[in-house]
Chains A and B, each alone.
Chain A
Amino acid sequence: KNQVEQSPQSLIILEGKNCTLQCNYTVSPFSNLRWYKQDTGRGPVSLTIMTFSENTKSNGRYTATLDADTKQSSLHITASQLSDSASYICVVRGGTSYGKLTFGQGTILTVHP
């Protein structure tokens, strides 16, 4: 069964600190992996998309890594800001025709001043 597991379930950090969120997946065949940021009550917004051949991709203070061999990804947030408080969702697209998306349950990040 295709699954995406994220850890931790929730995380609290102080403003200015760094943090790393984890994503493990069993989706096969694999096409790409996406990280989304979702503010409370809003729709998800894409942060990065990584294909099989990419192992690091950055978007400002967000850096995603992908290890396709171990089927793991991480999202590193540098110098956190209060506005980073949100749910971060890992999404994996399968490699079959029309590639179904499998969503993780998300990690809720809270940044305190």
Chain B
Amino acid sequence: DAGVTQSPTHLIKTRGQQVTLRCSPKSGHDTVSWYQQALGQGPQFIFQYYEEEERQRGNFPDRFSGHQFPNYSSELNVNALLLGDSALYLCASSLAVKSITGELFFGEGSRLTVL
């Protein structure tokens, strides 16, 4: 049973460019959440997708957008990259019916460096 998989694992972009990160949730999970983790900090919630809709959103600008596909996989898009967007981007999957006490499984993350 594959866990949460993310791609790419590492990437380097320059300021102003756009990036797309991808996530496949754990088998059987229907909810995907995205987090940004700066070096030495805890993860910061970006948004959550369920039934192909954005259900919750953290304090991130509209440059951060996402999508969830019918197979529950998800993409995170960041436009007009800034140096401060350099971080580890984590995807986490869960089951909506167990949203309160259910386990949250994280992927290994995508390390984005903006030059």
Q: Which residue of A lies closest to B50 (CB)?
A: A98
A44 and B41 alpha carbons, distance in the complex (Å):
13
A43 and B26 alpha carbons, distance in the complex (Å):
14
Q: Which residue of B lies closest to A51 (CB)?
A: B101
Q: Are A41 and B109 in contact (CB under 8 A)?
A: yes
Partner of A104 from B42, B56, B106, B109 at Cβ < 8 Å? B42
A81 within 8 A of B: no
Q: Are A42 and B109 in contact (CB under 8 A)?
A: yes
Q: Are A103 and B56 in contact (CB under 8 A)?
A: no
Q: Are B104 and A46 in contact (CB under 8 A)?
A: yes
How many residues from B make CB contacts under 8 Å with A? Answer: 25
How many residues from A make CB contacts under 8 Å with B? Answer: 24
A19 and B104 alpha carbons, distance in the complex (Å):
26
What are 23 A-B pairs at a CB distance below 8 A? A31-B101, A32-B100, A41-B88, A41-B109, A43-B92, A43-B106, A43-B107, A43-B109, A44-B43, A44-B106, A46-B105, A49-B101, A49-B103, A89-B43, A95-B100, A98-B55, A99-B99, A100-B45, A100-B56, A103-B45, A105-B40, A105-B41, A106-B41
